[in-house]
Amino acid sequence: MHPMLNIAVRAARRAGDIINRSMDKLDSLDVVSKDHNDFVSAVDEAAEAAIIDTIKQAYPAHQIIAEESGSQGDSDYVWIIDPLDGTTNFLHGFPQFAVSIALKHQDKLQQAVIYDPVSQELFTGSRGAGAQLNNRRIRVSHRKELAGSLIGTGFPFRNDQDLDAYLDTFRAIAPKTAGIRRAGSAALDLAYIAAGRLDGFWEFGLKPWDIAAGVLIIEEAGGLVSDMNGGNTYFESGNIVCGNPKVFKALLQNLRPHLGR
Ligand code: 2AM
Ligand code: CA
């Protein structure tokens, strides 16, 4: 394993342990429900601190961009961290959330980890070395069209997002598929594309740390990723389409007529 991926894995497991320990406490916290948000952010922050600590011990000069603490340092090496992707699920004890860590060098994704602490599934990707689930090689699915495909998505959740515009895309795609899933952690959705569990995915308004690791893992698993227009501005726009090559293309074709709104 590449030494930098090894550090990313160590960091993700440390964060996962922190998240798992907090899961046990969710029950006893029912009475203090108004503190739920504080609690969650404390878990986010503790997990993030553990990740940053692990990275800094190994690579003190690298830059870090993390969901909770923002950006620090200046380097060609940039770590992009989401310590707990799927916070709403976590809050409810709905077991679909993950730690996501990616490393870019000179703006190119090099290493990536997505770790589900509940199932202890570890998805990894290393540029040129493929994608793995618990150290076994994974590939995207072979389905050739939307018919029969299982497609992931995310619903708009912010006030500034246009729900009607999203619903136009949903109407265009959902009836053509075998089913749509909205699991609530974009990072895990992308990992599932790489593992062939989902055939395609689209969502608007995501942040770089939601998708950075997933993009590399999908590409290394033989999948394709773009923005809604087939371009590469997904980090800037937050809008992402991905899938196995055939389903990816079908998604883009079906999205195109509905992007005007
Ligand atoms: P987060 O839990 O790390 O914030 C799913 O649509 C994606 O959007 C998730 O990756 C989730 O990442 C992000 N998200 C942010 N706020 C959300 C919210 N209130 N509800 C659902 N998803 C949210
Ligand atoms: Ca996130």
Instruction: Write the DSSP symbol of residue 143.
Output: -
Give the pLDDT score at 37. Answer: 53
Decide if 145 is inside a domain: no
- Please name the helix (run of DSSP H) or strand (run of DSSP E) that holds residue 210, with its range, or none: helix 208-220
Cα R_g (the chain), whole angstroms = 18
- Tally the domains of the chain: 2
Residue 206: inside a domain, yes or no? yes
Residue nearest to atom 3 of ligand 1 (CA): 85
186 lines ligand 1 (CB under 6 A): yes
**CA nearest neighbour of 138 among 177, 194, 91, 82:** 194
Ligand 1 proximity of 88 Cβ (cutoff 6 Å): yes
| Residue 158: per-residue pLDDT | 82
Residue 240 predicted with pLDDT over 60: yes
User: How many whole angstroms separate alpha carbon 168 and alpha carbon 98?
Assistant: 29
Whether 129 has a pLDDT exceeding 60, the answer reads yes
Mutation test residue for ligand 1: of 94, 160, 185, 190, the one with most atoms within 8 Å of CB: 185
Ligand nearest to the CA of 87: 1
Judgement on whether residues 109 and 191 belong to the same structural domain of the protein: no
Q: What is the predicted pLDDT for the residue at 35?
A: 46
Beta-carbon contacts of 27 under 8 Å, excluding residues fewer than 6 positions away, are: 93
Say if pTM beats, i.e. exceeds, 0.75.
yes
CATH number at residue 112: 3.30.540.10
Residue 143 lies in a domain: no
> Is residue 184 within 6 Å of ligand 1 at its C-beta?
yes
Whether residue 125 sits in one domain with residue 46:
yes
b/e map of 46-79 (b: 16 or more CB within 10 Å)?
bbbbbbbebbbeebeebbbbbbbeeeeeeeebbb
Residues 164 and 249 in one domain: yes
Q: Domain span at residue 126? A: 3-137
Percent of all residues in the chain with a pLDDT value above 70, rounded to a whole number: 94
Contact 154 CB / ligand 1 (< 6 Å): yes
Residue whose structure tokens are 């490393």: 103
Which residue's alpha carbon is at the smallest distance from atom 18 of ligand 1? 157
pLDDT over threshold 90, residue 48? yes
Pocket-testing residue among 90, 100, 157, 202, ligand 1, by greatest number of atoms within 8 A of Cβ: 157
Task: State whether 133 and 7 are in the same domain.
Answer: yes
Q: Does the beta carbon of 82 lie inside 6 Å of ligand 1?
A: yes
The pLDDT score that the predictor gives to residue 33 is 42
Ligand 1 atom with minimal separation from the 97 CA: 2
State mean pLDDT over 50-64: 98
Q: Please check whether residues 195 and 70 belong to one and the same domain.
A: no
| Ligand 1 within 6 A of CB of 132 | no
pLDDT in tens, 166-198: 999 999 999 999 999 999 999 999 999 999 999
Percent of the chain with pLDDT over 90: 85
- What residues sit around ligand 2, an ion, with C-beta below 5 angstroms? 82, 85, 210
- Separation of first and last alpha carbons in the chain: 46
Q: Calculate the alpha carbon distances from 187 to 100, 102, 216 in Å.
A: 7, 11, 11
In this prediction, residue 38 carries a pLDDT of 54
Mutate which of 94, 210, 234, 240 for ligand 1? The one with the most ligand atoms within 8 Å of its CB, which is: 210
How many beta carbons lie within 10 A of that of residue 181, not counting itself? 16
pLDDT band at 29 (very low <50, low <70, confident <90, very high): very low
Please work out, in degrees rounded to the nearest 5, the angle formed at the alpha carbon of residue 196 by the alpha carbons of 124 and 67.
45
Asked if 205 and 102 sit in the same domain, the reply is no
